[in-house]
Amino acid sequence: MSQLPLRAQLASALGRTAATLSRATGRGDGSVIGGRVGLLLEPDLLRKLAHEKKLALVSATNGKTTTTRLIASALQELGEVATNAFGANMPAGHVSALSSNKAAPYGVLEVDEKYLPEVLDTTEAGVVVLMNLSRDQMDRAAEIWLLAQKWRRALAGRPAHVIANCDDPLVTWGASTAARVTWVAGGQRWHEDSWCCPECGGPLDRAEGIVNADWACRECTFSRPEPNWILDGEDAIDPYGHRWRLDLQLPGTANRSNAVVALATAAAFGLEPQRALPRLREVKSVAGRYTTVERDGRVMKLLLAKNPAGWLEAFDVTRPDRPIVLSVNAQGPDGRDTSWLWDVDYRILAGRHVYVTGERRLDLALRLDVAGVGFILVDDFSQAVSALPPGDIDVIANYTAFQSIRTEFGRAV
């Protein structure tokens, strides 16, 4: 039986009821509403729930939902794992996740970048996983230099073991006040937010390449730490120099990077790669991301991309010979500002059959026109699908556009 005090148990039970209602009424995955009810009744609930578990917090601009899933899958090798599998990554979602599986000895929580200091303070998690920081929807996200500085303050003087991507200079800076860091050369495809030294503002000299590329400040001593884990093509190289062929079902370099981070995190929990890796290979899709859906012979791969770095990662797993449907909205969770479209280099799509839709399709249409990319504007996703011949199709959408497509296919997972 749970060690939680009665009041906390009651709060958590009521939270679960609300979550069930939310799912039953079709209003969502239920993960946020359950947590909100719980937090209202017991502000210390998260602290109490967290203290019963060995906990990892996972934060980044991109890939945190997928990496959370990978780490949770790996740790299942050790025992039950409570996790916020639906990407509800603020404290209400954390309460909901931890109370849904109170008996689980392990917890893996995806954490919004802004909330990391607060959640770390509340949960006193033993492991913190930090992967990348880049510009995100700017009207709602925090400025990333400031964010990294808050991470530094939050980690200083704590016993937490940090797993951090040393190919990202801003993440490296954010993590480097921690008492103990395992550095992972996990790669960085988007360089536009890290040409300057976060420590002194001087220019960073960067070696060519996306993964395991060295960097150093020209004006101060800030430089890339020696990595303990390295992503090398299709392989992970562990701290002992052993090579592990990843063989994931999830596609693309970004997911191989997420997997190496997951292996390093599993190792921090005492789980060796030969036991963790088979678990990672079982993951096919994450809350609809990378999943394949079908309608009338059209086989569509669904990709979520919310910001410029995310679009680069998505392009990496699309195939040039396939038609592609792009859908962009600008509701609250997407950011109401579409200016980020101008940071994405769409020229890679030139020559493909491109269909443009979503509530802000005119923003995207002009963006493509200026990039010299031909496209067809359609009213909605269904119109794009029926305009295309049967066969394989790539689909990239930002957050609410993705959710609405996913809903058309019965909330595909």
Which residues sit at the interface with other proteins, rule CB under 8 A?
135, 138-139, 143-146, 192, 195-196, 201-203, 218, 336-343, 362-363, 365-367, 369-371
Buried b (16+ CB within 10 A) or exposed e, 307-339: bbbbbbbbbbbbeeebbbbbbbbbeeebbeebe
Map the footprint of Zn ion across residues 203-262, applying CB under 5 A.
217, 219-220, 222
CB 236 within 8 A of CB 259: yes
Map the footprint of Zn ion across residues 142-161, applying CB under 5 A.
none
Q: In the complex with other proteins, which residue's Cβ is closer, 122 or 194?
A: 194
Q: Judge whether 217 is annotated as a binding position.
A: yes
| CA distances for 362 relative to 34, 328, 358, 368, 369, angstroms | 37, 9, 9, 10, 10
Among other proteins, Zn ion, none, partner that 146 touches (CB below 5 to 8 angstroms by kind):
other proteins
Among Zn ion, other proteins, none, partner that 220 touches (CB below 5 to 8 angstroms by kind):
Zn ion
Which of 121, 337, 345, 369 is flagged as catalytic? 337
- Rounded CA-CA distance 33/22 in Å is 7
Among other proteins, Zn ion, none, partner that 391 touches (CB below 5 to 8 angstroms by kind):
none
Q: In the complex with other proteins, which residue's Cβ is closer, 59 or 338?
A: 338
* CA 167 to chain centroid: 17
| CA distances for 15 relative to 9, 38, 90, 282, angstroms | 10, 5, 15, 31
In the complex, the smallest distance separating the C-beta of residue 145 from other proteins, rounded to whole angstroms, is 5
In the complex, the smallest distance separating the C-beta of residue 200 from Zn ion, rounded to whole angstroms, is 3
Q: In the complex with other proteins, which residue's Cβ is closer, 27 or 218?
A: 218
Catalytic residue flag (residue 380):
no
Q: Which of 199, 214, 359, 392 touches Zn ion by CB under 5 A?
A: 199
In the complex, the smallest distance separating the C-beta of residue 206 from other proteins, rounded to whole angstroms, is 11
Q: Judge whether 196 is annotated as a binding position.
A: no
Q: In the complex with other proteins, which residue's Cβ is closer, 268 or 378?
A: 378
Query: Within 10 A of 153 (CB to CB), how many other CB atoms are there?
Result: 11
Q: In the complex with other proteins, which residue's Cβ is closer, 32 or 144?
A: 144
Query: Within 10 A of 160 (CB to CB), how many other CB atoms are there?
Result: 20
Q: What are the backbone dihedrals phi and psi of residue 201, each rounded to the nearest 5 degrees, phi first?
A: 85, -5
| Site track 89-128 with Zn ion (rule: CB under 5 A), x = hit | ----------------------------------------
Assess 11 for contact with Zn ion (CB under 5 A).
no
Longest dimension (CA), the chain: 63
Assess 202 for contact with Zn ion (CB under 5 A).
yes
In the complex, the smallest distance separating the C-beta of residue 344 from other proteins, rounded to whole angstroms, is 9
CB 97 within 8 A of CB 123: no
Q: What are the backbone dihedrals phi and psi of residue 76, each rounded to the nearest 5 degrees, phi first?
A: -60, -20
User: Cβ contacts of residue 241 below 8 Å, gap of 6+?
Assistant: none
User: Cβ contacts of residue 169 below 8 Å, gap of 6+?
Assistant: 194, 197, 198, 204, 215, 222, 224
Q: What are the backbone dihedrals phi and psi of residue 256, each rounded to the nearest 5 degrees, phi first?
A: -65, -40
Among other proteins, Zn ion, none, partner that 370 touches (CB below 5 to 8 angstroms by kind):
other proteins
Q: In the complex with other proteins, which residue's Cβ is closer, 110 or 334?
A: 334
In the complex, the smallest distance separating the C-beta of residue 174 from Zn ion, rounded to whole angstroms, is 15
User: Cβ contacts of residue 344 below 8 Å, gap of 6+?
Assistant: 308, 311, 312, 367
Query: Using alpha carbons only, what angle is made at residue 230 by residues 313 and 217, rounded to the nearest 5 degrees?
Result: 80
Among other proteins, Zn ion, none, partner that 409 touches (CB below 5 to 8 angstroms by kind):
none
- Rounded CA-CA distance 366/318 in Å is 22
Among other proteins, Zn ion, none, partner that 336 touches (CB below 5 to 8 angstroms by kind):
other proteins
In the complex, the smallest distance separating the C-beta of residue 148 from other proteins, rounded to whole angstroms, is 11
Query: Using alpha carbons only, what angle is made at residue 98 by residues 94 and 102, rounded to the nearest 5 degrees?
Result: 170
Q: What are the backbone dihedrals phi and psi of residue 82, each rounded to the nearest 5 degrees, phi first?
A: -95, 135
Assess 200 for contact with Zn ion (CB under 5 A).
yes
In the complex, the smallest distance separating the C-beta of residue 14 from other proteins, rounded to whole angstroms, is 35
Q: In the complex with Zn ion, which residue's Cβ is closer, 204 or 231?
A: 204
CB 49 within 8 A of CB 106: no
Residues that bind Zn ion (CB under 5 A): 197, 199-200, 202, 217, 219-220, 222
Question: Which residues are annotated binding-site positions?
Answer: 197, 200, 217, 220
- Active-site residues, by number, are 337
- Binding site for Zn(2+), by residue number, is 197, 200, 217, 220
